Every structure is written in C-alpha cells, then in structure tokens.
Structure 1
Amino acid sequence: MSEQKIEFYEGPAGGWGALRSVKNTLLKHDIAIKGAKTLLSANQPDGFDCPGCAWPDRNHASSFEFCENGVKAVAAEATARRAGPDFFARHTVAEMMAQSDFWLEDQGRLTQPMRYDATSDRYLPVEWTEAFALIAQHLNALPDPNQAIFYTSGRASNEAAFLYQLFVREYGTNNFPDCSNMCHEPSGSGMRPQIGVGKGTVTLEDFEQADAIFIFGQNPGTNHPRMLGELRAAHKRGARIVSFNPLRERGLERFQDPQSKLEMATLGATPISTHYFQVLPGGDLAAVKGMMKHVLEQESALGGILDHAFIAEHTSGFEAMAADLRAESWEVLALESGLDEAQMRSAGDVYIGAKSSIVCWGMGITQHTHAVATVQMLVNLLLLRGNLGRPGAGACPVRGHSNVQGDRSMGIWEKPPAALLDRLQQVFGFAPPRADGVDTVEAIRLMLDGRGRVFFALGGNFAAATPDTDATWRALRQCDLTVHVTTKLNRSHLVHGRDALILPCLGRTEIDLQAAGPQSVTVEDSMSMVHLSAGINPPASAQLLSEPAIVARLAAATLGDSRTDWLWLIEDYARIRDLIAQVFDDFQDFNARVATPGGFRLYNPASERIWATASGKASFQTHPVPRDTPMHRARASAPEQIVFSLMTTRSHDQYNTTVYGMDDRYRGVFGQRRVVFIHAEDIRALGMQDGDWVDLRTVWDDGQERRAERFRLVAYDIPRGNIAAYYPETNPLVPLSAIAIGAGTPTSKAVPVVIQPHAG
C-alpha cells in the first residue's frame, strides 16, 4: 500500500502514469510474463473480451485494445494468488468482516465450493453435487417461487444469462434484480417510450464523423479509459467536446496517449474538452433546458436552426415542449443548474454550430430523482436538429460492466415484455410467470419483510453495491439461504443468510473446456456489438465450473420435470446460441453471424429512424425544472445547518465495487479512501481546516439515523454546497427510499448530508 498523502496531480490522463500502473499491477499479482501474454489476447478474434467496462473495441482485432483499468481487471482475475480451503480454515467470518474490501479481494482466486458452518463461523469445503442439492432443496421447499430472488451481475455472458432467465422463469418467478437497476435503468425507462429503444443509437464510426460531442455526468478517464482514444481523435480533427461535470476530472481535460510515441517522448498531451461546465449535481436537466431555450430563441431570430422536416415527419409533442421552453425563466435555470445564462447559451451555440452531434451520459445523470426526465431532455436536445438516425449523431448512454447490456438483451429483466414470455412458452413448452418481479431496491424490501427467503447472485457484490447498507445487510441476514457465484472473495459472502454457499466460477480469461472442447461465450458492448470471447489461461483450479455449467446443473437439480436437457446444452455452447436464436429475432443465425471477426451489431430501429413507440414517432417530452427534490426539502427543513449534496463516486483504483488499490491518482489521493472532496470556501464556512476528520450524517424524513464516520476533508474544485466521496464507504448514507422516479435507481449522486467533526 502506498503512503497516505494528498498531492495535487498535474499530469494528463494516461501517459507514463498509466504505464507505471500497468507494470506495478502485473508485478503485484506475480504474473508479469503471463500477464503480458494474456493482455495481448484481450479483445482479439481468438481471445477474450476484456472483463472491465462495456466500451467497444475499434475492430476487435487490434494489437493494443486494453487500458489501465482493463489491465487491473485482467490481472486481478489472472493473479497467482489463491484463496482455497486453507485460507478459510485460518479465518472466521467475523475476522474477515473486520478487513477492508481491498484486502478481501486481494486474497486471490477462490478454488473450491464452500458452505458456511455456523458452529465454527467458518466456510468449509463442500462438493458441487451437494451444493446443488442444497440449493434445490431450499428452492423447492418455498411455498411461493416469488420468495426467491435471483440477482445478476453485468459480468455474466449471454449464454449464462439466457440459461439463467430460462431456469428461473421455469422455476416460477420474474424476480430478476440486476446491476442495471442501480445504474442505467433510467436510460432505458426514458428512451423506450420516447424513441422505441432503451439502448444507444451510435457506433464508433459515428464518433469519427461528429462535429460536437456532449458528455454529461461521466468520467471516462477512470471509468471508460478507452473512450479517451476516441475523444482524442475527435479533438484532433476539430470536433467540439463539451463536458458537464461537477468535478474537474483530468480525463475530461487532457490525455496523453500511451500509444503515441511523440506524446510519450515529449511528455505532450491532447486537450479533450473544448468547453467544461461545472454543473451542480442533478442540475443537468436545467442546463439542457437552457441550451434548448437558446436554440429556440436563435431559431426565432435567425431561422434555419431547427430541422423542421425531421420534426414534422418523425416527431410529436414539439409545440408543447417549445411553449414550455419559452415560458422557462433564465433565473430558475441558472439557479438550479449552477451555470449562468451565458454559459448555457455558449453550450447552445456549440450545438447550433455542429452539423452532427452525439450526446453521451453516465451515472452522473441516472442516479438522481429526476433521472428519467433528464434522459428524455437529452434526447429532446438531439431531436431538435434531427441528430438521431444519421451519421455522426445520436444518443450514447455509456454502460458500465462488460455485458450489462447483453444481460438485458437475454431477458434478465424483472418486467419482461409479453412477447418474450410468449416465445419462451412456444419454444420450451412451459408457462412462464406473467407477474412482474422485483428490482434491486424492491428485492431488499422483500428480504427485510421476510418474504424473500432465498437469495442467489450470479456474480456481483450485492452487499457492497446497494444503498442503505444497514438495511441491506439486515435483509440478507434474514434469508434462509444466500448463494454467490464468484471468482474472488468479497463483502457479500460475509453478509450471509442462515445457510450460505460460495460457488467459484471460471473467469473471462480462462479456458472453458466442455464435452465438445474449449468453448467461447458472447458479450454485447455499449453500442450493441455482439462478439465471441474465449479464455486462454488454464483455470485457477480444477474445481471451477463455468457460469453456464453452474446454472445448467442447478436447473437440472431443481426442475425435476423440465423438458429442457440442461446438461446436454452445456456440452457445446453453440446449442445454447441456437436456442437464443429461436427466442430472439435479432439473434437469427447467431452462430454463423458471431463467427465473423468482430461479430455483428444488433438491429437498432432508432438508428434507422424507425420508431417502435406507441405513436410510431419519436416524441418530445416536457418536464419542469425540479424544484422540490429531497435536496431542496432537506435544506428547507434544516435552515440552521449547512446541508451538502453528496455524490458518491469511484476512485481510479476501483471498478464498480472492486477496489484494486488505495490510490486515486488523478484526484491526488494516495494510500487512502475515506476522503471527502469539498470546496475550500465550504471548509472555512464550517469553521474547519483542510485535512480535518469529519463524520457524515444523512438528512432524511424517515427518522432513521444514517452515518458514515471518519473521513478526511480534501479541498477540491467542486461547486460550493456539494461534496463527493467514494462508495461503498458512503453507501450507508443512501436511503432505501431515495430512488429515481419511474426507474427505481438509487439516487446516489444527490444525498443530503451534514458534516460534523469526527466524534473520535
């Protein structure tokens, strides 16, 4: 672990710092030579898909399609370290609970199925057959299948996800909470009724042709580093890049491309953003309305700004939205966005001056109360000038985990469309349940109420990823059985039910050998490209099973009268893909199409200006500027205190809940994680000093005490009245009832809190 210090970072994103991080990561995991060979097979036609983010590859056949964070993900999976039965024999669950999340995952790969023993407070080895029988016993003993909850991580392949949803629906429930519920659910909830699809409409080729790229609530330098290559190329050819982010993020400012010999030799860098607006957290809707109001005013003054032909032929609702914009007050827009009128007009001028524009967004948009409305406002902006369904233009929600979008394509959804259920019944001969299941927050409530009794997780770290940590942990501990399919130890395995299993699986980098030989799986990236992934490393243990094999063997053990030959399917994953093709029309000729280098793109009607909506048109949506959010109410209820808006965020040594190290290089934080980024003037207003230790307390109206203790204040460039801190350390502050309207996503980017001197 590095020395604890705060030291301002002056360099660009990428560059020599990224290369040093790659070297140190490989050495740390004792895989310098093996790791280098492994990385050269990442994102190759005969290799594996990076298990990190869902940003697509240029052609899935280049020689250097991985980034610093991809290296961390690959190295963590290919590590030489092992956490086998001897490790668990040395540590009780209580002892492991006292360790950090970083320490838990740093112990290495799991090697054998383990079952919790309450007498010794330890996990003990268990045979696979016994583990499947135990799960089946619990499931079949439930009086109602809806008392079981089946969580899914975005790591699961298409093949595993398809078998999983098939098994669970034949078992009798649609309880499919997944990681989408906690990140981009508002993107789909907003876009589907508006343009007919819940996915992005652009490809990488569109980034080559866009005149302007607008980035909202996203930090690509840490979360999607390969995206910086596209932004760098766009900037070099003269595209305008406009960033809206409360924090000054180095990856949005400048980038030193490790593949550029000139930049590396001269220590040069390429600017990224041509315009940078530090909007208030949750103020993006007001900022976009300001841009659109300016566009309409310029149309009235000059003409020729709007795409009238597109609006007339392809959209509805324009007049109502235009009337709402004209009536909107610039004073309100400025107050709620944190930008002044001139800044919003400046951003609008960039949009007006661009023939083709792309709008990108991340969880800085989706984890807010009015996230769905904000997403629809971003799409409204695109519709004004016909920036959908043509080259260089479109909507780009940037997904997180590598196959989170593919899971939804395979039917991992608690609200399945009737057409999917009809097709499953037709192909597999059983009657799927028709009632909606529970999302992530609803699943926690189900367990808290005692109505959720079995919790099964296909990957992920549920206990660390979810909000309201105290409530979530109480919920999991009330279960009769908790089961986790995983590659490494994490917090969720220690927050267990009365009975508990840890089932170790193969990783993306490992050879998956089945009866028909080595197998490939498929994944879908953020831009709907589907391609093959085949591991190249020997498995970390002979005891490991693949995720498809775990699901199939569990289904065979649980469903006594199923017509599906589950074990036959996993002998050759091409058989699974043939079934996927029978269920989903977009996957016709799946095996043949995915065999081509680079795979294929799923049909996206909005990309062709075909609107699969109720009206057959794209629709402008009208939304007021939010002025009665939990943040507004908290400040009104406690006028005597300074109530801050807390946004939870990742460090640079982190991906989702996986903590690879204790540094956040670009923000100047080293050797520690319990820090609060806060404006220097706000520190003075509190009567405190930079470096003081403080506690955070949520301001909420349910009477529950929510605290997170001992954080170090760090003066940072962030709008006054707002703070940022890492999750999962600050997840205890996010109330379970704090969710996005119309999507149920936890609003982790706007938590009302007060800061108090640390009690210790």
Structure 2
Amino acid sequence: MVDARKNAPEQPPAGGWGALNATERQLARQKVLVKGNRALLNMNKPGGFDCPSCAWPDPKKPHTAEYCENGAKAVAWEATAKRTGPDVFAAHSVTELRGWSDHELEDHGRLTHPLRYNADTDRYEAVDWRTAISEIGEHVRGLDPTRVELYTSGRTSNEAAFLWQTYGRLLGTNNFPDCSDMCHATTTMALPESIGVRKGTVTLDDWDACDALFIIGQNPGTNSPRMLGYLHDMAKRGVPILTFNPFKERALVKFTDPQSPVEMLTGRGQTISSNYFQLRTGGDIVAMQAIAKLVIEAEDAARAAGEARILDVDFIAEHTHGFDAFADYVRGLDWPTIERFTALTRDHLQQAADVYMKAERVIACWGMGITQHRRGGDAMQQIINLLLLRGNMGRLGAGACPIRGHSNVQGDRTVGINKTPAEPFLKRMDEAFHFTAPRAWGHDTAECCEAILRGDVDAFLAMGGNFFRAIPDTDRIGAAVPSIGLTVYVATKLNRSHLTHGRQSYILPALGRTETDMQAGGQQTVTVEDSFAMVHGSTGQLTPASPLCRSEPWIIAELAKASVAGRGAVDWDAMIADYGLIRDKIAQVIPGFEDYNARIQEPGGFHLPIPARERVWETDTGKANFLFVPGMMDEDDDVPEAPHLQLMTIRSHDQFNTTIYSYNDRYRGVSGQRMVAFLNQDDMVDLGVTEGDWVQFETVAVDGIERRVAGFKAVAYDLPRGCCAAYYPETNALLPLDHRDKRSNTPAAKSVPVRITRVDPGAPASSEPEVAEQRPSAVGPVPVA
C-alpha cells in the first residue's frame, strides 16, 4: 500500500468544477449545449426520462440537477447533433471503417436509416424498413431456432426485453445471451445459493440508516457517480466507509459535491473512505474470511470472559445454516498465508474487523471487481458470510448491495431474458400467449461465443450493445463471425460490432432513451429496474434523431410479425399502440408486477419483492447459508506458470462500457491515449521496464492458444505488487473465453494472468489523441495523501 510516487503533490478531489467542465465540454462537442442542458433537467425525474447510463436508483425527492458527469455524457452522446447517414457508408467501405477507432465510429453521430450490407461493394446501403423487415423475417423463418442467438443490451427497456424474449420463445429458442452475462451474472448465480435471491436486499432507505459501509471491488467515481452524493453525505455524518480495491481511485478518496455551494466555492472536498485497503487482485476471498476470523475470535474471547456477545447468535441460530463449519475453517487460517494472498497486514484487517464489530447496521456493496473473477461467486459468498455473522441482512440499514453498471441490465433478467427459464415462468408464458414455450435450456454469452466458434450459429440478432467488441477472445470469435448467415443490429450509433458481420447483415436505427416515442396510441412510456429492484417509468423528451428511427418494441413486433406470425395469441399491433398492454402481460407472467401501470406513477417507482429482505430464505436449506470452499485462497492459486502478473481490465473515466467518450482519464492522470499499462514500480524493476517504455501483454494460458497485444506505454502506478491494469476493450483479446466464473460463465476480466515484456520502440503506437492540441500525450498517477 505504498504510493509509487511518494513525493507527488496531492490531487484535487473528484467531482467539483472538473466534473461540471467535463460535462459542458462534452455537450459542446456534440453540438447540443443548450438542448442538452435543458434535457438534463428532466433526467431521473418523475415524468422525465431515466438516465441511459448507470443503474443507480432515483430518490423520491430528486435534486434540481439529478444527474452526474457520466450520465450527462451519455445524454450528450445520445442527443448529439451529429449524424451517420447513408452518405457516410457511400464514402467508406466496411473495410475502411474497420480502421477507425472505437471513439471515431460512435462519435460520428446517430444512425438515421435502416442499412443492409452489400458484399459486392463492401458497403452498408440504405434500405426501406418494409424490405429490411421482410428479408430478415424470411431468413429467420427458415432456420433451426436453436441455431439463432438473440442478444440483449442493458439499455433495453422492460417492455422491449419482455417482447424480445416472447419473440424468441415463439421462435422456439432460449438462446438469450445478455450483457449481464459479462458483468453481474455472477451475482445472479451466487446469491441464490447463499440467501435465496438474485438481487441486492437494500433500498435507499437502508443507505440513509446504515452506520458502516463496505465497498468491495467497485469504482463509483467512474461507473456510478450518483452514488458519490450518498457516500459524501454518509462520510459527512461520520459513517465509516471501508474500501477494498487494488486501485486507489480518486473519487473514493475525496469528493467535492457539485450540489454543495460551499465546497464548490472553497474547492474543498469531503474525505470518502475512512479506511482504504489496497488488497491484491483476487485476494477478496481470504480478506473477507480474515475479517470473519477476527470477528469470530473476538466472539470466542467474549464468551470465555462472560462479556457481551459479538455475534448475533439468535439470528445465526434461527436464520442460518453451516455456521459451525465456516467458523472452524476461518479459525484455522494462518496469518502468513492471509497476508501473502491479500497484500494486507493483520493490522489492516483488524481495523476492518473493529469497524464491523462496532457498527449495528452494515451494508456491503460490490461491483465487477468481485463479479469478473473465476471465483467471483465464492468471493461474493464470503461477503455474505461476513454480513450474516451479526445479522446484517433483512433489517433496516443493513444488507447486500450489488451495484449494477447499466440502466436496465437487472430489469432485462427480471422480465425473462434468461437462458434457463424456470418452469413456473414458462407455464405462465404458455397461458398468457397460448403456445408452448421451449423447455430446453439455451445459451448465455459465453456459450453463444462457443457456438460461433463451432460454426453452430446461423443468425445473430442484437438488441443494442456492442457484442463483438465487449466479449472475451475478441480476435478468435470475430474471425468466425463472417461464417454466420445473418447478423442484425438494432442500434443508435455505429460501433465495431456492425463491422463484424455475417453474410447478410442489417443495421436498424433505434430511438434513444431521451427521445419521444410516438405510437398510434400517443406518446409512450417505458420502464426500467435499477440496482435496488425499484421499477419506474421513463418518458423521452427530445425529438428523434431521424424520422426513420423506430422504437425497440416496434422493431421487435415487426420482426415477430415477419417471422413468427400465427404462432401463439399475440396482438403485436395493439401492444405497440399502447405499451400499457405490454405491462399488463408482464404483470400476468411475472410475480411482483401487479397493478404495474398504476404503480409506475409513484415517485421513485415501486419495489419488487425480495424475500431475503423479509428474512425469508428461498434456499435448499430454508435458511441463509454460510458457504465456502476449503483451501480456496486466491484467484491465481492454480495458475501453472510463474512468474506472472494479474491483469485487471478497467474503464477510463471518459468511458461507458465499450463507448469511448474521449482518450482521457482525468482521475488517473491520463490524457490523449488509452494504450497504457499501469504497473507497480517494484514490478517494473524486476521486469527491466522503465516508465515510458513500450510493452506487450501475453496471456499465460493452458489451452495452447497464443494471445498477445502490444503497443502499451508503461506507467508506474500505486498498485500492490503482482497487479497490473489496462483499459478494456483494448485488452479483451487477451482474455480466454474459458477463463471465467464456473457458476455463471462471467468472464474473469479483472484477473487475467499475463507476462509483460519490453518491445521495440517501433512497435504499434498508442491510440491516436482525439484532438491535435492534446499532443504530446501525458500520463501520470493519481497521488493520494
């Protein structure tokens, strides 16, 4: 936990004027300075539209400016005045466009016309909607449905996602690869084993009432900045915030709240993390077990001395299973092993245990720093074990809080985007639409990729997203896509996946979340579910980017009429004229959505039932389970080859998923480039690498496949030894498809074993700066006091 740059000056807090300036610059660059600012005042408000970025919940009483820097960037990106019309494709072949950067492709502007690929000219060309839909429908009708893949992005509304899964099941498939498969599917699979639910157990009311917060493997400053306002208020009222993360992220150190006039005028910020533990990548399992060990040993001592109990023994006896085995196991862990695998000292972990034992109400939240590991589910279950020790589950101010990264990634799952649907759900689908839904399990994202590599996919249809850029093993899988007979992309902007296409390919322009959706029954509202299982409405405000843009529900209905007409009893036209009818069907099929249309009118929305919140445990034992795997120590404890480093793939601050807003990462001191290798300074000495050297990554893999990416600039950074980091998606080619969590198939993108070597200065250069005045590019660490 030593800063690689001890003498560097302290950096200013996150947020503040820097966030406001970045927001206004992005709005200006997208040529929507006035329009964009007006739109932002309607975001995350009753009657307005939901942020197209993260999944942080909306308060019942929103601020005047209820948005963050990254949400504003997402709105600017979507509401842009720039356009990508047929003229762009007439001027540039697909082969030429592949030479553009990810930033250049999306920054060119909104798609305006349906497009069809012409292999003879290697160009996408304009096509009318009727022709595109007819041709796609004719193609899909003739296929084996088990060889059709239907991908869903987290930007898809509940209404669109429900229609999408209805369409797929009428077609005869449960192949529903989903963006959540690449992030929080680990949560979806591991939590039910522990506490019987697939989601977090807290609401904003719990955040207001908690008196200690553990943040594990999450970076809210970049991935969910609205959360920082709550962290700021917690810290200000003295709530201890304990952060576990290999990176010392600036926003988790100090934050200036743009809503605070005093802080904005003085430039001072609020310290966020009371304790910041820079643990080693993959060390979360042992770190949580070590804290539990200290808590249990304190309980043993208190019991022997006849003092007040430390554990909530009544809760453990009534509501849990497996405590004795877990307690015996963690008692037996030795401190040299703990310290080696975590890079934390016993004193550090004692500090965490002391805070935990003193607090009456504890929330633990986590992000992809937990979920994107081969043993992410096991790490998550150790977090739950820690919460269970003192009854921090199912009561006000306490609980489990996974922070989802995309605005409706949780809702998609809730309304049926699932490769393994449960029989009660399928029966209700049968009854609602008078057909027999397929029972055979389908594909998730990893299994879809495996099917593509085998040549077992005849059609790939994507409802949003940038699938072929976001997945692992991008080079291998991308090379197999041209053998697919049909690819269809529903999108708002051009991205790299559209240039990774099948023999027949279409791009269909969709409305954005910010835009008005007018149908035969008038303006429509869609709904989304946030990270806290709150469902609320979203009504677009802006004029659509093109008269030819269509809503996702409309596109799905037209595809269904063209390819599954006559199957089931589905009045597609009526549901598109009035999305309330879609919600009626959702309420008929999915418990918890009763009175759906009325309840979305409530400020902040309505909360879906979470049994564990009521201390009802829908597990095999009927109780909350203490789960662990004896001897499991670390993410890389069975990697056969050494020495190596563990690579974390990360987002920059000017990035949302695969969308690159610019080549800067303000909070980490990077400007004008993205091909950066963040390295521990002592590791650099061992590697014979000096700052500014060009290096390459090579995956330590056991499948015999060589994975290597070059052209990265080495930068000394404050990281534990053995850890390194670089931006995604530039490093996705290093991530083997089978390097993943075994429960959920989530890619282990936060811990890839790699070797790093210096390369010739003439190696491929870093990403081109976004604007000429950014030369020369500068990179530096974020020093922290």
Give me the whole-angstrom Cα distance separating, in 1, the residues matched to 2:195 and 2:434. Answer: 33
1:500 to partner: Cα distance: 0.6
Question: 1:232: which partner in 2?
Answer: 232
Say whether the 8 Å CA contact 1:161–1:410 is kept in structure 2: yes
Tell whether 2:587 aligns with 1:575.
no
Describe the superposition over 1:36-69 as per-residue Cα deviations: whole angstroms up to 9, x where unpaired.
1100010111110000000112226431110000
1:742 to partner: Cα distance: 1.1
Partner secondary structure for residue 132 of structure 2: helix
Matches within 5 A, 1:324-473: 324-473=329-478
- Percent identical pairs in the alignment equals 52
Tell whether 2:562 aligns with 1:561.
no
Give me the whole-angstrom Cα distance separating, in 2, the residues matched to 1:386 and 1:482. Answer: 50
Tell whether 2:616 aligns with 1:610.
yes
1:539 to partner: Cα distance: 0.5
Tell whether 2:638 aligns with 1:637.
no
Say whether the 8 Å CA contact 1:184–1:366 is kept in structure 2: yes
Describe the superposition over 1:205-246 as per-residue Cα deviations: whole angstroms up to 9, x where unpaired.
111111110000000011110101111111111110000000
Give me the whole-angstrom Cα distance separating, in 2, the residues matched to 1:632 and 1:357. Answer: 30
Aligned mate of 2:319, from 314, 318, 331: 314
Say whether the 8 Å CA contact 2:280–2:722 is kept in structure 1: no
Over 3 Å counting, the alpha-carbon distance change for 1:735 and 1:538 in structure 2 is same
Partner secondary structure for residue 577 of structure 2: coil
Say whether the 8 Å CA contact 1:202–1:394 is kept in structure 2: yes
Question: 2:3: which partner in 1?
Answer: none
1:753 to partner: Cα distance: 0.9
Say whether the 8 Å CA contact 2:159–2:582 is kept in structure 1: yes
Give me the whole-angstrom Cα distance separating, in 1, the residues matched to 2:10 and 2:147. Answer: 50
Tell whether 2:300 aligns with 1:300.
yes
Describe the superposition over 1:468-492 as per-residue Cα deviations: whole angstroms up to 9, x where unpaired.
1112202322211111111001000
Q: Give 1:756's aligned amino acid.
A: T
Q: Give 1:164's aligned amino acid.
A: W
Question: 1:57: which partner in 2?
Answer: 58
Matches within 5 A, 1:209-220: 209-220=209-220
Unaligned runs of 5+ in 1: 1-6
Say whether the 8 Å CA contact 1:43–1:60 is kept in structure 2: no
Q: Give 1:648's aligned amino acid.
A: T
Give me the whole-angstrom Cα distance separating, in 2, the residues matched to 1:532 and 1:625. Answer: 47
> Would you say how many aligned residue pairs link Structure 1 and Structure 2?
748
1:568 to partner: Cα distance: 1.6
Partner secondary structure for residue 258 of structure 2: coil
Question: 1:192: which partner in 2?
Answer: 192
Say whether the 8 Å CA contact 1:152–1:177 is kept in structure 2: yes
Say whether the 8 Å CA contact 1:512–1:519 is kept in structure 2: yes
Describe the superposition over 1:653-696 as per-residue Cα deviations: whole angstroms up to 9, x where unpaired.
00111101110000000010000111112112222210111111
Q: Give 1:643's aligned amino acid.
A: H
Q: Give 1:26's aligned amino acid.
A: L
Say whether the 8 Å CA contact 1:552–1:566 is kept in structure 2: yes
Say whether the 8 Å CA contact 1:295–1:348 is kept in structure 2: yes
Partner secondary structure for residue 698 of structure 2: strand
Question: 1:751: which partner in 2?
Answer: 752
Structure 1 residues 57-66 or 379-388, which shifts more? 57-66
Partner secondary structure for residue 215 of structure 2: strand
Tell whether 2:154 aligns with 1:154.
yes
Describe the superposition over 1:517-547 as per-residue Cα deviations: whole angstroms up to 9, x where unpaired.
0100000000011111001111000001100
Give me the whole-angstrom Cα distance separating, in 2, the residues matched to 1:139 and 1:206. Answer: 48
Question: 1:221: which partner in 2?
Answer: 221
Question: 1:4: which partner in 2?
Answer: none
Give me the whole-angstrom Cα distance separating, in 2, the residues matched to 1:166 and 1:148. Answer: 14
Structure 1 residues 680-689 or 98-107, which shifts more? 680-689
Give me the whole-angstrom Cα distance separating, in 2, the residues matched to 1:367 and 1:624. Answer: 21
Say whether the 8 Å CA contact 2:481–2:502 is kept in structure 1: yes
Describe the superposition over 1:409-448 as per-residue Cα deviations: whole angstroms up to 9, x where unpaired.
1010111111110110111111111111111111011011
Describe the superposition over 1:558-609 as per-residue Cα deviations: whole angstroms up to 9, x where unpaired.
1121221112210010111111111112001100111222221111111111
TM, length-normalised to structure 1: 0.97
1:633 to partner: Cα distance: 4.2
Partner secondary structure for residue 116 of structure 1: strand
1:296 to partner: Cα distance: 0.4
Matches within 5 A, 1:168-179: 168-179=168-179
Q: Give 1:284's aligned amino acid.
A: D
Tell whether 2:722 aligns with 1:721.
yes
1:9 to partner: Cα distance: 7.4
Matches within 5 A, 1:581-660: 581-627=587-633, 631-634=636-639, 636-638=640-642, 642-660=643-661
Say whether the 8 Å CA contact 2:646–2:751 is kept in structure 1: yes
Say whether the 8 Å CA contact 1:8–1:668 is kept in structure 2: no
CA RMSD of aligned residues (A): 1.2
Say whether the 8 Å CA contact 1:465–1:657 is kept in structure 2: yes
Say whether the 8 Å CA contact 1:448–1:478 is kept in structure 2: no
Partner secondary structure for residue 570 of structure 1: helix
Unaligned runs of 5+ in 2: 1-7, 304-308, 764-785
TM, length-normalised to structure 2: 0.94
Matches within 5 A, 1:19-58: 19-58=20-59
Say whether the 8 Å CA contact 1:9–1:668 is kept in structure 2: no
Structure 1 residues 663-672 or 598-607, which shifts more? 598-607
Q: Give 1:139's aligned amino acid.
A: V
1:193 to partner: Cα distance: 2.0
Question: 1:3: which partner in 2?
Answer: none
Q: Give 1:727's aligned amino acid.
A: Y
Give me the whole-angstrom Cα distance separating, in 1, the residues matched to 2:504 and 2:590. Answer: 37
Give me the whole-angstrom Cα distance separating, in 2, the residues matched to 1:98 and 1:60. Answer: 47
Over 3 Å counting, the alpha-carbon distance change for 1:659 and 1:625 in structure 2 is farther
Give me the whole-angstrom Cα distance separating, in 2, the residues matched to 1:644 and 1:396. Answer: 30
Q: Give 1:590's aligned amino acid.
A: Y
Say whether the 8 Å CA contact 2:489–2:498 is kept in structure 1: yes
Question: 2:682: which partner in 1?
Answer: 681
Partner secondary structure for residue 356 of structure 2: helix
Partner secondary structure for residue 586 of structure 1: coil
Q: Give 2:334's aligned amino acid.
A: S
Question: 2:287: which partner in 1?
Answer: 287
Q: Give 1:378's aligned amino acid.
A: I
Q: Give 2:375's aligned amino acid.
A: H
Over 3 Å counting, the alpha-carbon distance change for 1:627 and 1:388 in structure 2 is closer
1:502 to partner: Cα distance: 0.5
Partner secondary structure for residue 294 of structure 2: helix
Over 3 Å counting, the alpha-carbon distance change for 1:59 and 1:740 in structure 2 is same
Say whether the 8 Å CA contact 1:445–1:475 is kept in structure 2: no
1:625 to partner: Cα distance: 4.7
Say whether the 8 Å CA contact 2:196–2:618 is kept in structure 1: yes
Partner secondary structure for residue 488 of structure 2: strand
Aligned mate of 2:552, from 547, 550, 567: 547
Partner secondary structure for residue 585 of structure 1: coil
1:327 to partner: Cα distance: 1.8
Give me the whole-angstrom Cα distance separating, in 2, the residues matched to 1:516 and 1:597. Answer: 24
1:464 to partner: Cα distance: 1.0
Over 3 Å counting, the alpha-carbon distance change for 1:509 and 1:588 in structure 2 is same
Give me the whole-angstrom Cα distance separating, in 2, the residues matched to 1:8 and 1:479. Answer: 54
Question: 2:122: which partner in 1?
Answer: 121
Say whether the 8 Å CA contact 1:285–1:625 is kept in structure 2: no
Aligned mate of 2:483, from 469, 474, 478: 478
Structure 1 residues 71-80 or 183-192, which shifts more? 183-192
Question: 2:776: which partner in 1?
Answer: none
1:397 to partner: Cα distance: 0.3
1:8 to partner: Cα distance: 7.9
Over 3 Å counting, the alpha-carbon distance change for 1:60 and 1:444 in structure 2 is farther
